[in-house]
Amino acid sequence: MAKLVALRTLDMLWVEHLENMDYLRDSVRLRAYGQQDPLVEYKNEGHKMFQNLLRMIETSIVQTLLKVSLTKEPAPPPPPVAMNVIPSGQSKKTGRNDPCPCGSGKKYKRCHGKNT
C-alpha cells in the first residue's frame, strides 16, 4: 500500500516539476535583459525547485499515508479437509504414498507412517 502511494505521489509531483522547469526555461530568457546570466539563473532556480520537489514528495506521501485508514478483512475460513473415511466392515491399508488419513495433506510416509 505504501509503495503504491509513494509511486503515485512521485509520478504526479514529477510531472508537475517537469512542467515547472519548462516554464522556468522560458522565464529565464527574459532575465538576460536584466543583465543576469540566464544559465546561472536557470541552475540556481532549478536547484531550488528540485529541493522544493523533494520536500513536497516527503510531506505528500506522509500526509496521504496518515489519512488512509487500513481495515483488515477477516481471512476466509480454511476449506474443510476431507478425511479418508472407510465404511465399517471394510479395511483399507494406507499405502506409503497415499495421503495420510489424519487430513494433514502430507503423504502417509511423511506423517504418521514415518515411524513404521
What confidence tier does 31 reach under pLDDT thresholds 50, 70, 90?
A: confident
Question: Are the C-beta atoms of residues 100 and 113 closer than 8 Å to each other?
Answer: yes
Do 59 and 95 lie in one domain? The reply is no
78 falls within a domain: no
pLDDT in tens, 39-52: 888 999 999 999 99
What confidence tier does 91 reach under pLDDT thresholds 50, 70, 90?
A: low
Q: How many domains does the chain have?
A: 2
Asked if the model's pLDDT at residue 79 lies above 90, the reply is no
82 falls within a domain: no
Strand partners, 9: none
Do 7 and 57 lie in one domain? The reply is yes
What range does the domain containing 101 cover?
87-116
**Quick one: how far is CA 68 from the chain centroid?**
15
Do 15 and 63 lie in one domain? The reply is yes
